Amino acid sequence: MTPDAFRSRRRFLGGLVAGTMTVSAPWALAATLTPTPRQTEGPFYPDQLPLDRDNDLVRIRDRDQAAAGTITHLRGRILDARGAPIRNAVVDIWQVDRNGVYLHRGSAGRAQRDANFQGFGRFETGADGAYYFRTIKPVPYPGRTPHIHFAVNAPGAERFTTQCYVKGEPLNERDGILNSIREPRARAAVIVEFAPAADGLAARFDIVLGYTPVA
């Protein structure tokens, strides 16, 4: 991929966020918002970040072949306790590839890892608090239901980690980490629908941080 083509793809992916997010008034949301429950980071945050750290995990810079798996457009907003969007929040995601392998030297099955899957992505929110990633639908691996890890570094707040799960996945019922969230409404807040889209799936996961920035 040429440098000009790569820059054009980055502009396209960033533009998808602005064109698809709906901003709601904080006062209309505050009464119904459920703070997103914190979940463990787990042992497989990449032990060496990839050189390509953009928000497209399906294609790695300078490689023609895309990652295996079902393309998923994952988007949402980072909100404070009032429902107001948080700008300049750095959102990291990481997950296993189509073969159930993390971008980590300690992950099982390293020999089968898909070298075309970035495994990690990063996005910084704008004024609307929105983020967007193009990735693949998560798959299960021994002991875990399909999930995507999130870490949010927001201004004035400590690092927040959680996980996003697939609505309707049968393995959810047996996943110990998901079911450690005892309160039903909080547990439902991290389970989202992966709906059909033109070129794969689309999912939306809003993250509500349980704090209000100091003015």
Structural domains of the chain, with CATH: 3-208 (2.60.130.10)
Spatial CA neighbour of 109 closest among 119, 99, 98, 123: 99
Across the chain, the runs of DSSP E, i.e. the strands, are: 71-79, 90-94, 120-124, 130-136, 147-153, 160-166, 191-192, 195-197, 200-204, 207-208
* Residue appearing with tokens 């992505």: 121
Give the span between the Cα atoms of 194 and 28, in whole angstroms.
26
What pLDDT score was predicted for residue 211? Answer: 82
* Residue appearing with tokens 């009464």: 31
- pTM confidence score: 0.86
Question: Could you tell me the two tokens for 68?
Answer: 């295996």
> Phi, psi at residue 20, to the nearest 5°?
-125, -5
DSSP state, 83?
A: S
Q: 83 near 33, Cβ under 8 Å?
A: yes
Q: 5 phi and psi, to 5 degrees?
A: -65, -40
Report residues of the chain scoring pLDDT below 50: 2-8, 10-12, 15, 17-24, 27
